């Protein structure tokens, strides 16, 4: 029987709703063989996920790094999945801490914009809702739901709310710098949902080709935010550039409707990723 491998998920260490321990248990119950924990800009969930690992489940410790491509104006935000990197690599640790701080500052500014329009949401309450995890717009979305202004997280990401009107940029990491830092930390960088036009602007293929020359290892093709045509495009591009192709759920618990294992990665692709990691952080087994 072939393995079921899901390489992109979030816990309460960022904007997911299951704790890392609940997430690994849910992964085993969903019949997964390998799960990657990829919280936004943090490794804070790693230890408790490892401690709670059910027998038979492999855990790839990772993160989803908030990046930006500054090659066009305005710069394009993008997400870089990073697997099996050294969580103590000083430069990477410092950059992640800087981005987390920038997220808090930006969240507070978004709340100020909302409040200036008479919308009664409270930053201290939103921050408390993140419970020490990396704060993001999904946490602000919960406040909008509590205030009865929208019914769902998805609605909160609409153009009248956090998707456009009350959307502010945050201080992300230059994507070339991020790829180099992840590689220097022994990790393996994979571009998350690179073609997801429904999330906003995307980068040109030429940029992805350039990133491949500085260490990008793979592209996430199968993702709920990609149309079938977008998946096919990513697959073809990865083939041209010799990059690994992944598929994953990007599970966020109840903050999204997608289920664990909704999209998966082949064993061959997974093995290539593991082989490219330098071994400081190996796959953990339950």
For residue 231 the two structure tokens come to 């998946």
Q: Rounded distance, CA 58 to CA 286, Å?
A: 7
182 contacts 80 by C-beta, under 8 angstroms: yes
Q: Judged by CB under 6 A, which of 98, 119, 157, 210 binds ligand AMP?
A: 157
CA 247, 251, 253 angle in degrees (round to 5)? Answer: 170
100 binds, among Fe ion, ligand AMP, Zn ion, none (CB under 5 to 8 A by kind): none
Residues sharing a CB contact under 8 Å with residue 72, sequence separation 6 or more, in sequence order: none
Q: Judged by CB under 6 A, which of 42, 153, 264, 281 binds ligand AMP?
A: 153
Q: Judged by CB under 6 A, which of 20, 58, 62, 136 binds ligand AMP?
A: 136
Q: Tell me, rounded to whole angstroms, the distance of Cα 35 from its chain centroid.
A: 14
| Residue number with CB closer to Fe ion (56 or 154) | 154
Q: Rounded distance, CA 196 to CA 198, Å?
A: 5
Alpha helices in the chain (DSSP H): 20-29, 46-51, 90-116, 123-130, 137-146, 153-156, 175-184, 205-214, 228-241, 267-276
Shortest distance, CB of residue 102 to ligand AMP, whole angstroms? 11
For residue 15 the two structure tokens come to 């904007």
Shortest distance, CB of residue 21 to Fe ion, whole angstroms? 19
| Residue number with CB closer to Zn ion (106 or 252) | 252
Shortest distance, CB of residue 157 to ligand AMP, whole angstroms? 4
Within positions 234 to 253, which residues make up the interface with Zn ion, using CB under 5 A? 250
Binding segment toward Zn ion, per CB under 5 A, in 20-28, 57-65, 209-217, 261-269:
57-65
Q: Rounded distance, CA 16 to CA 256, Å?
A: 9
Shortest distance, CB of residue 196 to Fe ion, whole angstroms? 8
Q: Tell me, rounded to whole angstroms, the distance of Cα 114 from its chain centroid.
A: 26
Shortest distance, CB of residue 118 to Fe ion, whole angstroms? 28
Q: Judged by CB under 6 A, which of 8, 40, 223, 263 binds ligand AMP?
A: 40
> Applying CB under 5 A, does 41 fall inside the site for Zn ion?
no
16 binds, among Fe ion, Zn ion, ligand AMP, none (CB under 5 to 8 A by kind): none
Residues in the site for ligand AMP, rule: CB under 6 A? Answer: 15, 40, 136-138, 153-154, 157, 252, 255-256
């Amino acid at each position: 029987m072939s393995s079921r491998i899901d390489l992109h998920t979030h816990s309460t260490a960022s904007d997911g709703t299951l704790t890392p321990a609940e997430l690994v248990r849910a992964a085993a119950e969903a019949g997964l063989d390998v799960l990657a924990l990829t919280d936004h800009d943090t490794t804070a969930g790693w230890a408790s996920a490892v401690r709670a690992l059910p027998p038979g489940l492999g855990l790839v410790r990772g993160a989803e790094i908030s990046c930006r491509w500054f090659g066009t104006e305005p710069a394009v935000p993008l997400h870089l999945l990073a697997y099996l990197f050294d969580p103590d690599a000083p430069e990477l640790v410092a950059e992640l801490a800087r981005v987390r701080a920038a997220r808090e500052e930006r969240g507070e500014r978004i709340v100020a914009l909302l409040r200036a329009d008479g919308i009664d949401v409270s930053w201290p309450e939103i921050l408390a809702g993140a419970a020490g995890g990396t704060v993001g717009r999904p946490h602000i979305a919960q406040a909008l739901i509590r205030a009865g202004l929208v019914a769902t997280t998805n609605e909160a990401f609409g153009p009248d709310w956090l998707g456009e009107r009350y959307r502010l940029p945050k201080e992300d990491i230059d994507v070339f710098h991020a790829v180099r830092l992840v590689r220097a930390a022994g990790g393996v960088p994979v571009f998350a949902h690179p073609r997801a036009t429904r999330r906003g602007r995307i980068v040109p293929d030429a940029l992805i080709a350039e990133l491949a020359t500085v260490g990008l290892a793979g592209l996430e093709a199968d993702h709920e935010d990609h149309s079938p045509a977008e998946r096919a495009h990513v697959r073809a591009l990865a083939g041209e550039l010799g990059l690994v192709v992944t598929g994953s759920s990007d599970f966020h618990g109840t903050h999204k409707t997608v289920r664990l294992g909704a999209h998966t990665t082949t064993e061959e692709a997974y093995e290539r990723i593991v082989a490219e990691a330098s071994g400081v952080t190996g796959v953990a087994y339950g």
